[in-house]
Amino acid sequence: MTTETATFDLTEPDVRVVPCRQKHAMILSRWAELPIGDHLVLINDHDPVPLYYQFASMFPDAFTWEYEVPGPDEYRVRLTRVAASSTTPVVRPPDMRPGPTSEEATLDVRGLEPPEPMIRILNATETLQEGGRLRAHTERRPIHLYAELTRRGLKHVSEDQSDGSCITMISRP
């Protein structure tokens, strides 16, 4: 039995054990199949706020978001489709390329609409090995990202660039 079939129930997907880089794709896939008026209850170990922002940008006025269990150890969110959505979910992998060393990757998320930069950066951190680094280039200082990086045990240092953008070095100690 795979992780996906073991944990992704169609009505109550428990994504606590699903790698972050797969969670949103699984949820968006299920959302695409959800009839108007139906719902699913997401179960997670942290507040899925980035997912909320993704839904708000992709499916405005097509969903409701209700916390059934608001944490702190378990979150249950009832996600209801209330209208048809014109956007078909497209889940793209992060645009990563090797950096100067084999332990470093670069991710440029400038030009993407929120919450996509945050989602891509968090997804990319899932593949960081011990001692690995990710160089994330964003349009501005990613202050909403810092608490989640810290919660995941990752170190981060941001440096503002002369063009107003920011480069954040993220590392797994």
27-63 tens-digit pLDDT:
877 887 888 999 999 998 888 888 888 888 788 889 9
Measure the CA–CA gap between 95 and 104, rounded to whole angstroms.
Answer: 14
pLDDT at 171: 93
Averaged pLDDT score across all residues of the chain? 80
* Tally of CB atoms within 10 A around 59: 19
Measure the CA–CA gap between 11 and 3, rounded to whole angstroms.
Answer: 16
DSSP 11: S
pLDDT at 122: 87
pLDDT at 8: 46
Q: Which residues pair with 137 in a beta bridge?
A: 108, 167
pLDDT at 132: 87
> Over 80: is that where the pLDDT of 151 sits?
yes
Residues in the chain: 173
Q: Which residues contact 51 (CB under 8 A, 6 or more apart)?
A: 23, 24, 27, 42
pLDDT at 88: 53
Q: Which residues contact 88 (CB under 8 A, 6 or more apart)?
A: 32
More confident residue, 6 or 113: 113
73-103 tens-digit pLDDT:
899 999 999 988 765 554 444 444 444 444 6
Measure the CA–CA gap between 134 and 8, rounded to whole angstroms.
Answer: 29
DSSP 164: S
Look up the pTM and report it: 0.49
121-149 tens-digit pLDDT:
988 888 788 888 999 999 899 998 999 89
pLDDT at 82: 92
